[in-house]
Structure 1
Amino acid sequence: MLRDATGDDIDLLHDLLLEAFNWDGTQRFTRAEVVADAHTHRYLGGWKRPDDFGLVATDDAGCPLGAVWARALPAATPGYGYVADDVPELGMAVARPHHGRGVGTALLAGCLEQANGLGWRAVSLSVEDGNAAARALYSRHGFVVVGRNGGSDTMLREL
């Protein structure tokens, strides 16, 4: 099941941001590095701001399986998948034991519905080279590559 992400989910979202950054199981970052990093702070610092939105997927007992979150970032402090000030950037991760069960599909579909309902014109994200599973998921949901940032593609989904 899906529920709205709240300010109380900040620790979970940090854990899942770490999961997203270490998507292939290689520990590129520690949790402490993610929490302390100024660039990654852009995604979750002060969560939940008035325009922030997202969802948490849970099992029947309410235990989190994954989450998606979004925030509009300004050009002066862009995220990895920045497109425009009026296009929120998504972050998303599913805990490794729950990969391949449709959790990511449910989260992404729910977030697109949420963004549309909130009146956003589009959403963007960044996907690293080699992350074929995530790239395929995003493509199935209508995201298209619109740019490049280092070893990652910036993808956009018009709403």
Structure 2
Amino acid sequence: MEAHIDLRAATAADRRFIEDMAVEAFNWNPDRASLSREKVLSDPQLNKYVIDWPREGDSGVIAVGPGGESIGAAWLRFYTAENPGYGFVSEDVPELSIGVVAGWRGKGVGTALIRAVVATAGRVSLSVERANPARDLYLREGFRSLSSDKDADTMVRD
């Protein structure tokens, strides 16, 4: 069931919401102990996805529900070989991060966000745990596995 949503460009005013969506993304698995917002924002391996949002080169999209509330975000950020993200491919390929408020998952929000954020991006990468249901969404949206470790895939969309 697809809900009507609006999309708008992410701005510096969306920093806290993007941080919240990063926390949602890291806590996708209800069978695993949740990471607190404080843990995500204090861990250098996790906070690199949101620290100092927006930095030069960052871009993103916010999904807005019928009541005007922010319900999801997708954003792109570039990383360096010295400080890569989990889905790092190269310094000229941005990595996609996405989070959707729990009650809005499965309603087309993630699809709309992905399509909007990658429309002008060219090649995009991401990392996803294989057990994460979002992996199927990424495959439907044209991402392919480039490399894998024991639990996760680095995927790209050309």
Q: What is the TM-score of this pair, normalised by structure 1?
A: 0.91
Residue 131 of structure 2: aligned partner = 130
Root mean square deviation of aligned Cα? 1.2
| Structure with the higher fraction of residues in helix conformation | 1
Q: Report the residue type matching 2:118 in the other structure.
A: L
Q: SS at 1:156's partner residue?
A: strand
Q: 1:24 to 1:81 in 2, by over 3 A?
A: same
Shift of the alpha carbon at 1:100?
A: 1.0
Structure 1 unaligned residues grouped into runs of 5+: 116-120
Q: What is the TM-score of this pair, normalised by structure 2?
A: 0.91
The answer to whether the 8 Å contact 2:23/2:37 transfers is yes
Query: Deviation string for 1:84-115 (max 9, x for gaps)?
Result: 00000010011110111100010000011132
Alignment partner of 1:16 out of 17, 21, 45: 21
Give the fraction of aligned pairs with identical amino acids, expressed as a percent: 41
The answer to whether the 8 Å contact 2:7/2:64 transfers is yes
- The whole-number CA distance in structure 2 between the counterparts of 1:146 and 1:76 is 20
- The whole-number CA distance in structure 2 between the counterparts of 1:27 and 1:12 is 22
Shift of the alpha carbon at 1:149?
A: 4.2
Shift of the alpha carbon at 1:47?
A: 0.7
Spell out structure 1 runs of 4+ moving beyond 4 A.
Answer: none
- The whole-number CA distance in structure 1 between the counterparts of 2:150 and 2:70 is 31
Q: Report the residue type matching 2:142 in the other structure.
A: G
Q: SS at 1:44's partner residue?
A: coil
Q: 1:88 to 1:149 in 2, by over 3 A?
A: farther
- The whole-number CA distance in structure 1 between the counterparts of 2:62 and 2:55 is 17
Query: Deviation string for 1:7-40 (max 9, x for gaps)?
Result: 1111111111111111022333111000111112
Query: Deviation string for 1:26-77 (max 9, x for gaps)?
Result: 3331110001111122211111112100101011232011100110100000
Shift of the alpha carbon at 1:134?
A: 0.6
Residue 142 of structure 1: aligned partner = 142
Structure 2 unaligned residues grouped into runs of 5+: 1-5
Alignment partner of 1:46 out of 52, 73, 87: 52
How many pairs does the alignment contain?
Answer: 152
